A and B are shown apart, each in its own frame.
Chain A
Amino acid sequence: MKDLQPLLKHPEIWRAQHHPSTPSLSTGLPQLDQYLPTGGWPQAGVTEIFLQQTGVGELCMVLPTISQCSQARRQIFLVDPPYSPYAPALLQWGIDLQQVFILNSQDKRDALWAMQQCLQESHCVLLAWPQNQDNKMLRRLQLASELHQSWAILFYYQKACANSYANLRLQLDSHLCGLRISLLKAKGNYHKPPLVLPRT
């Protein structure tokens, strides 16, 4: 145990009983706030969301927070969105269009470069749809977002790979009553049963 002490002080190692006091933003959905170990969406870092297909309600989860962020004049960057975002819908969600920027990259290299550049803008929100999971890329994004207190949300239309540098990972599945959210990884937490969020 004595030998273990210096190791436990390592910043990369956390213990399950210590809830990290990462600042978070309310999701706008009380049930989800309660489910997420940080009590809301993390202010900084990378959040990975895995889903089978678009339209299951993946954006409904994050849009209330994003709307708040845009009202607080934080920039919202959309990198390689699967379809074209629709201005009236964004306004209905209360998002300030002046803070929204849409980037379309030509290849993976450009996309990573653009994401890093965006995350260096302090306090921004980045929504990206990368083609595949790349741990090296994630590491760089995680560092950049923590350093500049910006929040990156990555959406994947595939199954989650075993490990990742992201500090929050969620799996979404459609459910009869709405949306089933399973927590794959969160700093300061271990296994939790999935949450079923009724569709509004």
Chain B
Amino acid sequence: MMYLALYFPKLALELLGEQEVVLAISHQQRIFLSNHLAQEYGIYPGMSSNGAYALCSHLVLHEYDTISQQQALKRIANACLQFTSQVYIENSGLILEISGSLKFFSGLKNLNKNIQYYLRDLGYSCQYAVAPSILGAWWLAQAKPHTIAQRANLLSHLASLPVSVLDLAATEIQSLHKAGLKTIGQCQALPGAALRQRYTHVALLLEKAMGQIQDVRLGYQAPEFFHAHIPLAYSVDNNQALLFPLQRLVAELCAYLAVRAKAIQQFDIEFFHARQKKSRLCLSLLQATRQSKHLMALLKERLDDFHLPDGVESIRLQAQSFCEAGFENASLFSEKQKAQETTKLLERLQARLGHHRVQSLKLKHDYRPEQASVLTPPLQQTATPAHLPDKPRPFWLLTQAIPLGQQAHWQGPLHLLGSPERIETGWWDGQDVSREYYMAQTIHNSLVWIYRDAKGWFLQGFFS
């Protein structure tokens, strides 16, 4: 077995995105993490929150949030499932079992590079280490990053680590320190039986780390639904600025979809405000996808004219219904590729203009002319027409026929052409018609479609 541990020391800070404000995370009234701008003011981890405020009055201080950090770890774990099927979640990091993936990714170096690049694109920085045991890798990632330990040299790598990496209670650490045990090497040097008797827990952890006993854990499994709720560093009231946090959420969503071999057709994004009710943006697509670039292009158009009543404090993305993904491989046949391009274009148009402003035309089998043509949402398969009228039909049909009175007169007298076409139908639903249709020429030489019924003459369409 081979384990790759990923430790995210700045996760709480990176969760808030890349920020151009003086930002720090506090935990129990003490600074826990600070960004580079805060460090320029001399705000470093360990100092009291009040002290930090004294150094910089416009400091943005966020309370350390265990829940959102755990959620973020789960989302990263979702994404990491594309590298291996076994992912374990630790306190502030992940451990990946990679022995099964080495061949596919052509070697450890390549695999590691892939993972690092991927996480960096999502905006997370991490320290990594590789070791033949879960705990070994995890400890090395925290205290001695970038180590690649083999079974033979694992002990020598672990020996120099301080006992604090063992994640013990403060009293246990103190008692180890009192006994003069500062490093793992010193603990290991003690006779096994004596260590087991005095520090049972420590002895157990060390045996697990050395691979002497099995470390059995339950691997992380991707949940049924995707849910992410991320806080923003400060209240954002510029729509375009929301694209940065959304970019990461969408990338994580797409990674989740890729792992589960699903695609998405509809999802909701909710923006939470301090003083107003949350606002909701619902994105629905013509065709299911899992391409983050396409989703972001649509979101950008939607956000352009999306009204936010107040600054946004946090964003939630929820996706519950998925579709089975078709193969999204590059197609050999340009036809299919072109159809996909068209779908994407129509989605972009819908996102900007609105759904009801992008339409297709469909023939309906009805003898009443005004009912024979309907507008439908695009890309709904239309049936092949079985029957078309023999007489020519006008290219433009008025939604409401213009009454002309008792005379065929419009912009001057109309000259009737040809023989009339009688349409008498619709008696079954109360909208029965009984009309005589003519093609007619206006004095300007244009052709119109008119009819006569009991009420008089009407203009219904233009031949173009």
A residues with CB within 8 A of B:
52-60, 63, 73, 75, 81-93, 97-98, 100-106, 110, 113-114, 117-118, 120-121, 174-176, 178, 199
A75, A103, A121, A176: the one within 8 Å of B357 (CB): A103
* Whole-angstrom distance between the Cβ of B390 and the nearest chain A Cβ: 10
Contact A86 B444 (CB under 8 A): no
Q: Which residues of A contact B363 (CB under 8 A)?
A: 87-88, 91, 97
The chain B residue sitting closest to A177, CB to CB, is: B445
Among the listed stretches B126-134, B159-167, B394-402, which one makes contact with chain A, having 4 or more residues with CB under 8 Å of it? B394-402
Is B352's beta carbon under 8 Å from chain A?
yes
* Whole-angstrom distance between the Cβ of B177 and the nearest chain A Cβ: 67
Contact B464 A101 (CB under 8 A): no
Q: Which residues of B contact A103 (CB under 8 A)?
A: 349, 353, 357-359
Q: Which residues of B contact A89 (CB under 8 A)?
A: 392-395, 397
13 further interface pairs, Cβ-Cβ under 8 Å (given A85-B396, A114-B349, A118-B349): A56-B445, A57-B447, A57-B464, A75-B342, A83-B398, A84-B373, A88-B372, A101-B378, A103-B357, A104-B357, A106-B353, A114-B352, A178-B445
* Whole-angstrom distance between the Cβ of A2 and the nearest chain B Cβ: 48
Contact A121 B341 (CB under 8 A): yes
Is B136's beta carbon under 8 Å from chain A?
no
* Whole-angstrom distance between the Cβ of B16 and the nearest chain A Cβ: 34
Cα of A110 to Cα of B353 in the assembled complex, Å = 7
Q: Which residues of B contact A55 (CB under 8 A)?
A: 442, 444, 446-448, 462-464
* Whole-angstrom distance between the Cβ of A27 and the nearest chain B Cβ: 15
Q: Which of B352, B372, B396, B442 has the most CB of A within 10 A?
A: B396
Cα of A58 to Cα of B393 in the assembled complex, Å = 16
- If the complex has contacts A60-B464, A88-B363, are A83 and B385 also in contact, measured as CB distance less than 8 A? no
A57, A86, A117: the one within 8 Å of B393 (CB): A86
Contact B446 A54 (CB under 8 A): yes
Contact A117 B396 (CB under 8 A): no
Contact B395 A98 (CB under 8 A): no
A84, A113, A174, A176: the one within 8 Å of B397 (CB): A84
What are 23 A-B interface contacts by the 8 Å CB criterion? A54-B464, A55-B462, A56-B444, A57-B446, A57-B447, A57-B464, A58-B464, A73-B335, A84-B373, A85-B373, A85-B395, A86-B393, A88-B389, A89-B397, A91-B385, A100-B361, A101-B378, A102-B358, A103-B353, A103-B357, A103-B359, A114-B353, A199-B447
Is B194's beta carbon under 8 Å from chain A?
no
A52, A100, A106: the one within 8 Å of B360 (CB): A100
Contact A53 B357 (CB under 8 A): no
**Per-residue contact bits, chain B 346-362, to A (CB 8 Å; 1 contact, 0 not):** 10110011100111111
Is B388's beta carbon under 8 Å from chain A?
yes
- If the complex has contacts A57-B464, A121-B342, are A174 and B395 also in contact, measured as CB distance less than 8 A? no
- If the complex has contacts A55-B464, A104-B353, are A175 and B361 also in contact, measured as CB distance less than 8 A? no
- If the complex has contacts A52-B444, A54-B396, are A83 and B462 also in contact, measured as CB distance less than 8 A? yes
The chain B residue sitting closest to A61, CB to CB, is: B464
B346, B394, B442: the one within 8 Å of A86 (CB): B394
B418-464 residues at the A interface, CB under 8 angstroms: 442, 444-448, 461-464
Contact B446 A102 (CB under 8 A): no
Cα of A54 to Cα of B449 in the assembled complex, Å = 13
Cα of A114 to Cα of B349 in the assembled complex, Å = 7
Contact B445 A92 (CB under 8 A): no
Is B374's beta carbon under 8 Å from chain A?
yes
Q: Which residues of A contact B341 (CB under 8 A)?
A: 121
Q: Which residues of B contact A90 (CB under 8 A)?
A: 361, 395
A53, A73, A97, A100: the one within 8 Å of B446 (CB): A53
- If the complex has contacts A113-B352, A114-B349, are A86 and B360 also in contact, measured as CB distance less than 8 A? no
The chain B residue sitting closest to A178, CB to CB, is: B445
Contact B360 A84 (CB under 8 A): no
Cα of A13 to Cα of B361 in the assembled complex, Å = 42
Contact A56 B446 (CB under 8 A): yes
B345, B361, B385, B446: the one within 8 Å of A85 (CB): B361
Cα of A93 to Cα of B353 in the assembled complex, Å = 29
Cα of A184 to Cα of B363 in the assembled complex, Å = 38
Contact A102 B462 (CB under 8 A): no
B90-135 residues at the A interface, CB under 8 angstroms: none
- If the complex has contacts A87-B374, A88-B388, A98-B381, are A117 and B357 also in contact, measured as CB distance less than 8 A? no
